[in-house]
Structure 1
Amino acid sequence: MYSPDELMQEFKQLSILEKIALETGEEDDIKLGEYLGTSDYRYVDGNIRELTQKYYFKGKEGITYSKHPFYIRSGMHRHDFFEMAYAYKGDFVQTINNTQMTIREGSLLLLDTYVSHSVGPVDENTIIVNILMTREYFSEKLMKRFSQNNLITEFIVSALYKNSLKGNYLHFSLDNNDEIRNYINAVLLELKHDNPGRDEIINSFMIILLTMLAREKNCVNDQPSGSRTTPSSVVSILDYMNKNYMNLTLEDAAGYFHFSPNYLSRLLKKYTGKTFISIILELKLEKTIFLLEHTDFSISRIAEIAGFRNMNYFYKLFEKKYGCTPKGYRGKLEESTR
């Protein structure tokens, strides 16, 4: 049986980066990263670093975790994956979208993609654990399990579909909620130990964790100006599309919800910024990625399973979205796992 004690032992161990920071007094993560040759970023909007998921996720995994290093300041940055920052021990200060906030022990932040944020240096008395998730993980593993219209569902819908509204976050002030801590420990321990069936266990724990967070009343929900609350009907439509996208037409979806096709189309465009067909195509492409990562099926078979009937059209869409062919994508995966 796993014990949270082994997590604490892991978190207390100093990495090479932390040892160098402690010995030299250098707290700038950029300088330390360059010293070790581990930097992987580009600058956007002047002085904001943009980090990519390829550096943090290995092979097929869509969820992982890391401890914020002791003694090191993480300058203003953003990334193309989601982050759940949990105050495992002690309090810490984080700046998000130019707003400084204190995260108390036991509380957590759920950050959307491309949120500009920074964290000051902490000592060994403060442990920050970051659970990182790719957009594909959110879409494939989480969205399809949330059909109720609640705070978490709204966050996921905004994160996956509202490209123009990137930058929101949820701050849960939890006052050391034991149930939340237990589920976070359970997720971390399953991630730490690569045992059979761990993916299903992790996904189940994450669904329970997020559902429990959705019940929390003490939450700050910060969204960029211009955002609008997604009505329950749109959440239901997106959930239905997630479950039936293979052969779903606009007319079929409209008929299911007793809307006219034009009205359903306008509704989706208004609240997601995307058309019905573009959402369907994204779902199909995400299915091909899942099959490329988890099966040995041929490319043509994968395209067929995902609902593509025209192979030329499929290749064109895939290359446009991912910058390589399906075969090339699979080749990169094989290289990363060698």
Structure 2
Amino acid sequence: MNINELYKKLKQLNDIEKYTYDLYNTRITSEVDIRLKEHFSNKVKNDLWIINNEKLMNESEVIAIHKHDRFIKFDKHKHDYLEMMFVYSGKINQVIEGGKIVIEKGEILLLDMNVEHSIEAAGFDDIAINVLIKKEFFDWIFMSQIADNDLISNFIVEAIYGKNKFKQYIHFKTSENDKVCNFMIQILMEYYDKKNGMETAIRAYMMLLFNELLRDYKKYLTSEMVSKIDSTISTEILNYINKNYKVITLKSMADHFSYNPDYIGKLVKKIIGKTLTELVKEKKIKQSEYLLHNTKMSVIDVITEVGYSNVSYFYRQFKDQVGVTPDEYRKK
């Protein structure tokens, strides 16, 4: 497939577009609206429309590509996957969390799973591509490549395990970046050609695409939003440590957040400035200080209560952090 063949492919009407073409710029009936929601969702609820990856992706797929359906308005909805929209031609008008956004030709919009948005009906020349990304795509190999970039790695982590606390998106205004456009065109040609090695090639181009986006990321997000993302992730991590400090390991925390241990270790150090070992030690010693000061528990019982099994090691750790031994601390 070449660029001209790709253009013709994308301009063609798919089944949904053929069905809705005559209704473009007219009021869509409630019956059509319900059919649309049933096509994209497992459950249709008027107050909350969630587009399901099961409707759009095979179980084995971690990345899927779908041309955005033209001539129809998408009411307010969320996704259960990360979505990246690339505007191939024309423009796409969206309302995201109450604010109007226009994504122009060559630009990219990255949405997390928590964001509510609606999309105005696209015209014949308004062609956009939706890249659907499951969290499995961001395995430790991929994350290791972007872990040094605060914005994207934190965005992805918070999108996946942020418990809907912070809704975020990034609008990459890359219309003048030829590399971004070329990478997306290569991804699309691989996807539509269906040749051997397609999945490997798409992953490689996605890596290059994200690498290019990272280079100028500061243009696309305010310092306030970056700070909010960092703060929310820090809170999630510290809350988990405070609840599980007696038995926590890097592996157990990685399992909880569905990430590779090496990556979550880097994330903790980057966001909080200390290693998991340092944070757990501080929590255990702080808790032992509290127990020594406020209870009549023996030192041995305190040691056991906070999760230590080696008495002499605890004494060394306590004196290193507090400056005195546990016995001396209690006598103060």
Where on the TM-score scale, by shorter chain, does this alignment land: which range?
A: 0.5 to 0.7
Aligned-partner Cα distance in 1 for 2:29–2:186: 30
Task: Give the SS at the match of 1:65.
Answer: strand
How big is the alpha-carbon RMSD for the aligned residues of Structure 1 and Structure 2?
A: 3.4
Deviations 1:48-99 (A, max 9, x none): 3112110010131111111222211111110110111111111221111111
Contact 2:151 2:226 in 1 (8 A): no
Q: Match of 1:220, as an amino acid?
A: L
For residues 226-241 of structure 1, what are the structure 2 equivalents within 5 Å? Answer: 227-229=229-231
The aligned counterpart of 1:133 is 133
- Which residue does the alignment assign to 1:15? 14
The equivalent of 2:221 in structure 1 is: 220
Please, which runs of 5 or more residues in structure 2 have no aligned partner? 238-249, 266-273, 285-332
The change in CA–CA distance for 1:34 and 1:176 in structure 2 (over 3 A counts) is same
Is 1:160 matched with 2:160? yes
Aligned equivalents of 2:175, 2:282: Cα separation in 1: 42
Instruction: Classify 1:109/1:214 alpha carbon distance in 2 versus 1 (closer, same or farther; 3 Å).
Output: same
Confirm whether residue 96 of structure 1 aligns to residue 114 of structure 2: no
Cα pair 1:27 1:71 within 8 Å, conserved: no
Larger Rg: 2
Please say if 1:195 is aligned against 2:198.
Answer: no
Is the CA contact 1:85–1:108 (under 8 Å) kept in the aligned structure 2?
A: yes
Kindly state the Cα deviation for residue 218 of structure 1 after the two structures are TM-superposed. Answer: 2.4
Query: 2:202 & 2:282 partners in 1: Cα distance?
Result: 35
Q: Please give the alpha-carbon distance, in whole angstroms, between the structure 1 residues aligned to 2:3 and 2:195.
A: 17
Residue 80 of structure 2: aligned partner: 80
**1:22-59 Cα distance to aligned partner (Å, 9 max, x none):** 22445649743645863524356x63311211001013
Aligned residue number for residue 54 of structure 2? 54
Deviation at 1:200, TM superposition (A): 2.1
Cα distance change, pair 24–111 in 1 and its aligned pair in 2 (3 A):
closer
Superposed CA offset, 1:196-248 (max 9, x none): 222222112111111110112421358599643568xx9xx89x965557xx9
Query: Structure 1 residues 124, 158: CA separation in 2 closer, same or farther (over 3 Å shift)?
Result: same
Structure 1: state its 5+ residue gaps: 249-255, 267-338
AA aligned to 1:219 is Y
Where 1:61 maps in the other structure, the secondary structure is coil
| 1:175-202 residue CA offsets vs partner (Å, 9 max, x unmatched) | 2311100101111222223322222221
Q: Is the 8 A contact 2:67 2:129 kept in 1?
A: yes
1:260 corresponds to 2:278: yes
CA distance in structure 2 between the partners assigned to 1:47 and 1:258 by the alignment: 41
Is the CA contact 1:29–1:72 (under 8 Å) kept in the aligned structure 2?
no
Change (3 A) 1:66 1:258: closer
CA distance in 1, matches of 2:276, 2:58: 44
SS of residue matched to 2:128: strand
Matched length: 250
* Counterpart residue number, 1:302: none
43 and 224 in structure 1: CA distance in 2 versus 1, 3 angstrom threshold:
farther
Classify 1:161/1:186 alpha carbon distance in 2 versus 1 (closer, same or farther; 3 Å). Answer: same
Equivalent in the alignment of 1:181: 181
Shift of the alpha carbon at 1:132? 1.0
Following superposition, the deviation at residue 161 of structure 1 comes to 3.2
